[in-house]
A and B are shown apart, each in its own frame.
Chain A
Amino acid sequence: MNVIETHNLTRRFGRTEAVHALELAVPTGTVCALLGQNGAGKTTTIKMLMNLLVPTAGEARVLGVDSRRLGPRQFEQVGYVSENQQLPRWMTVRQLLDYCRPFYPTWDRALERQLLSQMALPEDRRLRDLSRGMLMKAALLASLSYHPRLLVLDEPFSGLDPLVREELVKGIIEVSNTGDWTVLVSSHDIEEVERMTDHIVLIDSGRMQLNEPTEALQARFRRVEVDLEPESGMPSQPGWLEVERSGRRLSLVDSAYDLAASPGRYGQLFPGAPVAFHPMTLREIFITLARTSRQNAKGAAA
């Protein structure tokens, strides 16, 4: 079952289309990363999912309910942390927890204490006096303590120093391992979320570029290097990206790599030529896709 599903989800701001016909499915129990450059439409998508924005067209279903009808019963099971959210900064950490607790029947005091201790949050300090990292920790704490079925994190690590980022990631990984929780985390930097995601959604200019499990994604992407004869031609194949030739060296990214079939296929394309296949990190894949998308857009505009 999918915790989040969107169909043709679209949002326009005047003439600008921030999100275009998004088809998204986030299965239960996954940690899904919503990736994209700044301005790609990640936050707009999440705001539509959280009923903070009304879709211009299409629909989104969250926990089986139309996002426009999300109400208290659904939000009892949703945790939402965003860098843009206006927390009640006049409250202390303790007051924030005391204020939030009664709204959630599943609030777990033991988990609250455990997280409070893990995150080393000063209970009596006002939120407005906390550093940005501490503030995000407090928001996370107030969104994890009731075991939400769905945790939505919108750029939670933006601008945080590496140590705090590490602590937060660790906290989320630990929590997501303790139950059947689904996490949707948006980021423009894949390194932040690489270790914890098992599903990747990439959007660019409001359009979805890919949507698949992390393992499958990493399995089908390879950086390929071929040493060619000087006068040999350069074939073209579907799924090849960033094809470059420098002297005898042909370099490309194969987005349709198949462990069983691809070596043989390359052997046929480049008989006798040495071919090297290099696994790619998610970051490298993300950059490749982003660059390709930008080149395609330029080409289309031209």
Chain B
Amino acid sequence: MRLTWHIVRKDLVRLRLPLAVWILAFLAEFAVGIWFLNAGTMSYKSFENIQSLDMVFFGLRLAIGYLLVAALVLDDPLVGTTAFWPTRPISGSRLMGAKLIAGLLIFGLLPILVTLPWWLYCGYGVHQVYEAGLDSLGVQVVPVAFGLLIAALVGSFARFLAGTIFAAAAIALFLAAFVKMAKTHLFFHGLDVIVDSSAASAARLSILYAFAIVGWAVVVAQQFLTRRLNRSLVLLSFTAALLGVDAIWWPLAFKEDFFRTRPAPADGAVLDDRVAIHHLKGAALHIEQDPGIGSGTVVFGNIQVDGAPPELFLRCDAPVFEWRWPDGSSAHAQGTLVGTITPTPYQLRTAVPFKETPDSVWKQSAVYKQLRKDGRLVTSDDLVIGNPTNRVWDYYFEVPRAVGIRMLSDPPSCTIDFGGDIMRPRLMPEIPLVTGNGWAGSGEGIRIARKEWNGSRKWLEVSVVEHRAAMGELFSLWYGGTDQYNMFSYSNRLNNESTYFAINRRLGESAWPVSFSNLNFSIRIATVAIAWRWFVFIGPSNEVTAFPAFENGKWPGPSYEDWFSDVSLGRAVETAVGRFSRKITINPFPVVPDQFSKAP
């Protein structure tokens, strides 16, 4: 072991300069984050700069990390007959152990140590640091593993770069061919039947991962232990062949509901029998004349949810459709739920009755309850009315043309697997609406960056910076840049994010930002999601502020400057509290061509 560490030490000394550059890329990214968190103002231009810088530094650290693997392995190359180590008393297993230890230190421990101050700065606790550490490892592991495999099969850095290009091109070609085949007829043994079920697809994916991991480990270990390149290449080819066969053929399912096994939290909410999810009649088939890369055959329809508890909100996964015909053939497809992309949010009636609302509504309002309950802070149960989950969800999915045409002439039975998260809005502490005020705790926080009346003092512009731990959300909206003015968005919320409102405790009233004014800049830096929210308040009326009538670009109504002189900023946040899963069976599942389809 002493000698193993001796090699590790050598590698760390060898890589100290690239490691320093790598650490600088991390620190630079955190500097961008600190700048973004603490800026006084934020413009499109500034955000674009920040986003570009962040992407550069993030890309840089991924790229340097990838090259570091190569440098680590190629300092003692496993291919060729000119390496220094094979004629020294260093066994392949010892070298492999040393490289694994160095890899763990470099790609496991070091990023966490370097990032720790950033996480602490953002208020992470022990558990969040643990989760963020795993998240960081997850980001690194794929490029590092890929780089390790390539580096183990080449003898020089130039060949490593060439191998990277070759492997990337091969994978891209494979994926492109696979997607094209999957979208046309690969899975349709006998032209009109998909033989595999969704559970079989899940099993296929699991086997794919298992083969990939085992194949990777065997090839890398084989190279370290024997340095027999030809044998390793044969093993690699064998693994690739297994992956290909599995990807296009594996027909067996391990168990049903493979995708739906994510357990609900122990104290999670459940949907009771009052919630009804059903499919509306009239699914339509659209057939493109010139399909391009896909099948050009799309089925679309509607699912309706009724009876969901008003205090809950359903965030739905993509539904999985599975069709069966009497002759035993079956097919499946994963649909897209339009509602999950731009869901209409729940409507909050926050703390304030509207003077023009009918008395019956007022009696249901949170403030009414609050007043009646002697100043108790409203809860989310008090806040939500008119749950938008009780609505019609649009869906669509693409099927191979043969299957679509068969649906027309021979309607199958259909099972829709419909599931997702159960979200509950919760109220966060109010903050007096004064620039510089803020709140932070448990790895999240907000800060009022700016509060300013417009020139005519008709509306109040407010900028808020919020941050929170965002594990496993590398590619979510939080990383996604800007969400500009959206006339069709009914509230100022982002998916799964905050909804803001102003509360005037003195008057017992509240105000919503005008819906079209919502502007978001969001970014994710080392698991910390940071968003700049910019919105405009006009006055203490939902009806006024939801769709204000502008004349010549100006709000002609009264100014509520006095009303906003002593208000606090309220915030509701949706939190996942459980999972739901429902299956709907429609038998038969009739499909009719839409008006734009050409006759098949």
Contact = CB atoms under 8 A, between A and B. Distances in A.
A72 B82 contact: no
B404 interface: no
A86 B6 contact: no
Interface string B251-271: 000000000000000000000
B89 A76 contact: yes
Contacts of A100: 88
A180 B10 CA distance: 33
Given A54-B228, A102-B3, A103-B3, A88 B84 contact: yes
Interface string B87-115: 11111001000000000000000000000
Interface string A107-123: 00000000000000000
Interface string B49-89: 00000000000000000000000000101000111101111
Contact of A50 (B14, B87, B89, B91): B87
Nearest to A82: B82
Interface residues of A, number: 26
Contact of A78 (B83, B87, B90, B94): B87
Chain B contact surface mostly: loop
Nearest to A77: B89
Interface in B1-44: 2-3, 6, 10, 13-14
A53 interface: yes
Contact of B89 (A47, A53, A75): A75
A140 B77 CA distance: 21
A56 to B, nearest CB: 12
A87 B86 contact: no
A103 B89 contact: yes
Interface in B510-554: none
Interface residues of B, number: 20
Interface in A1-60: 47, 50-54
Given A86-B77, A99-B10, A72 B90 contact: yes
Contacts of B94: 72
Contact of B84 (A51, A73, A87): A87
A71 interface: yes
A86 B82 contact: yes
A286 interface: no
Nearest to A101: B6
B14 A90 contact: yes
Contacts of B228: 54
Nearest to A152: B87
Contacts of A85: 82-84, 87
Contact of B88 (A53, A90, A95, A103): A103
A80 interface: yes
A236 interface: no
Nearest to A139: B84
Contact of A86 (B2, B83, B90): B83
Nearest to B6: A102
B93 to A, nearest CB: 10
Given A54-B228, A90-B14, A99-B10, A71 B91 contact: yes
A226 to B, nearest CB: 49
A80 B87 CA distance: 7
A104 B6 CA distance: 13
Contacts of A80: 87
B91 A52 contact: no
Contacts of B91: 71-72
Contacts of B86: 50-52
A104 B228 CA distance: 26
A84 B82 contact: yes
B3 A75 contact: no
A104 B81 contact: no
Contacts of A78: 87
B117 to A, nearest CB: 31
Contact of B81 (A52, A75, A88): A52
Contacts of A71: 91
B75 A88 contact: yes
Contacts of B81: 47, 52-53, 84
Nearest to A73: B89
A296 to B, nearest CB: 31
Question: Chain B CB within 10 Å — which of A71, A86, A99, A104 has the most?
Answer: A86
Nearest to A43: B81
Nearest to B91: A72
A102 B2 contact: yes
A88 B13 CA distance: 12
Nearest to B10: A99
A170 B6 CA distance: 33
A72 B89 contact: yes
Question: Chain A CB within 10 Å — which of B2, B81, B94 has the most?
Answer: B81
Nearest to A52: B81
Interface in B193-238: 228
Contacts of B82: 82, 84-86
A177 B13 CA distance: 38
A219 B216 CA distance: 60
A51 B85 CA distance: 12
Contacts of A72: 89-91, 94
A47 B81 CA distance: 7
Contacts of B10: 88, 99
A50 B86 CA distance: 8
B88 A75 contact: yes
Contacts of B13: 95
Nearest to A76: B89
Question: Chain B CB within 10 Å — which of A47, A53, A85 has the most?
Answer: A85
A47 B90 CA distance: 17
B223 to A, nearest CB: 14
B84 A104 contact: no
A71 B87 CA distance: 9
Contacts of B75: 88
Nearest to B74: A86
A80 B10 CA distance: 21
Interface string A226-252: 000000000000000000000000000
A86 B155 CA distance: 11
A24 to B, nearest CB: 19
B89 A104 contact: yes
Contacts of A90: 14
A302 to B, nearest CB: 36
Contacts of A75: 87-90
Contacts of A82: 82
A93 to B, nearest CB: 14
A103 B94 CA distance: 12
Contacts of B3: 102-103
A100 B82 CA distance: 17
B229 to A, nearest CB: 11
Contacts of B87: 50, 52, 75, 78, 80, 85
Nearest to A90: B14
Contacts of A53: 81
Nearest to B14: A90
A90 B17 CA distance: 12
21 contacts: A50-B86, A52-B86, A52-B87, A53-B81, A72-B89, A75-B87, A76-B89, A80-B87, A85-B83, A86-B77, A86-B82, A88-B14, A88-B75, A90-B14, A95-B13, A99-B10, A100-B88, A102-B2, A103-B6, A103-B88, A103-B89
Given A51-B86, A90-B14, 19 more contacts: A50-B87, A52-B86, A53-B81, A71-B91, A72-B90, A72-B94, A73-B89, A75-B88, A76-B89, A82-B82, A84-B81, A85-B83, A86-B77, A86-B84, A88-B75, A95-B13, A99-B10, A102-B2, A102-B6
Q: Which 3 A-B pairs have the closest CB atoms?
A: A72-B89, A52-B81, A80-B87
Interface of B: 2-3, 6, 10, 13-14, 75, 77, 81-84, 86-91, 94, 228
